Amino acid sequence: GRLVSQFDPFLDSEMLEACDRVVSTGETVRLERYMEEPGRFFSIELLSYGGDLFAGLFHDISGRKQVEDELRRARDELEDKLHQSRKREARRTLAGGIAHDFNDILASILGFTEMALEDFPDRPDVGRYLRNVIKSAMRGRDLVRQILTAPEKEEKASSIAATKSLDFFTLV
């Protein structure tokens, strides 16, 4: 057996309280510690042998800690991707709603302009202006179509990129 003072790197208030608890209650206490000298993580199990006697079992858990850190980073990365995906979806929904509303406005402009064009067949100057309004409204309608199809193109491109990265990792 060793004396508690021989575990110098681990002696702090938490460790001393744990040792006192093992001696006074006889219960087993488990702690996790990082030891700088070997640069490793340890699980420490303090066991009572009755009276003032107890033992400390040290298990190197550095590998487990490394896996936990990698999993935490991977989870954080996935959560970030999910957050970004939700933001893109919200933007698409907003853009789609605005585009549909704008399309309704353009349809109204086109409809009324065409009716006005029919009402003034003998006024070429008015007809020229009205045809320019129709031409502009149709350009606006084309822009709305582009806005509505842009998310589909983005998803296809994203899907292709994901497939390529998956193929890369499959090959490696």
**pLDDT confidence tier of residue 52, bands split at 50, 70 and 90:** confident
Cβ 56 vs Cβ 46: under 8 Å? yes
pLDDT confidence of residue 3: 58
Over the stretch 63-74, which tens digit does the pLDDT of each residue have?
A: 999 999 999 999
Q: How far apart are CA 149 and CA 24, in angstroms?
A: 72
47-56, 107-116, 133-142: least confidently modelled range: 47-56
In this prediction, residues 3-31 reach a mean pLDDT of 79
The residue among 82 and 39 whose pLDDT is bigger is: 82
**3-class secondary structure, 80:** helix
pLDDT per residue as tens digits for the range 127-167: 999 999 999 999 999 988 888 887 666 666 665 555 554 44
Neighbours of 58 (CB within 10 A): 14
What is the CB neighbour count within 10 angstroms for residue 85? 11
